[in-house]
């Protein structure tokens, strides 16, 4: 159990267009989902925390109007990169939190990631 999917796995888009990335928890309900981005040879950088039915909380330096997050249900969160530019090219990874049933509390399960290339 605890499978998280992301779609698409790879996307290439032209500069100025918008791209939507979906994150789904397939076999559990996730009250909280996280969105990260990862540049080559760098760590995961948290972009925003998304709770079902409420507005996402963005990390400092992340433009909320550029990276639109919607968490419409307990199993689906979407990240829309609006007016994408080449510098937005990155690996975007979502995670879904589930109560782990041990002292770790909530455990995050990661999706396989989406590689975005903006030309």
CA distances, 6 to each of 45, 76, 97, 109 (Å): 17, 10, 15, 12
97 lies in the site for other proteins, by CB under 8 A: yes
14 lies in the site for other proteins, by CB under 8 A: no
104 lies in the site for other proteins, by CB under 8 A: yes
Q: Of 57, 59, 63, 48, give the one whose Cα is nearest residue 93.
A: 48
22 lies in the site for other proteins, by CB under 8 A: no
Binding site for other proteins (CB under 8 A): 4, 6, 32, 34, 41-44, 46, 49, 91, 93, 95, 97, 103-113, 115
């Amino acid at each position: 159990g605890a499978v998280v999917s992301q779609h698409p796995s790879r996307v290439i888009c032209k500069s100025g267009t918008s791209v939507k990335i979906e994150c789904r928890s397939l076999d559990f309900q996730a009250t909280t989902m996280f969105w990260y981005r990862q540049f080559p040879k760098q760590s995961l950088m948290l972009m925003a925390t998304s709770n079902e039915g409420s507005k996402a909380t963005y990390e400092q330096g992340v433009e909320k109007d550029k990276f639109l997050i919607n968490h419409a249900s307990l199993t689906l969160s979407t990240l829309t990169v609006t007016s994408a530019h080449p510098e937005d090219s990155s690996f975007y990874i979502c995670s879904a939190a589930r109560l782990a049933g041990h002292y770790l509390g909530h455990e995050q399960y990661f999706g396989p990631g989406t590689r975005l290339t903006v030309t």
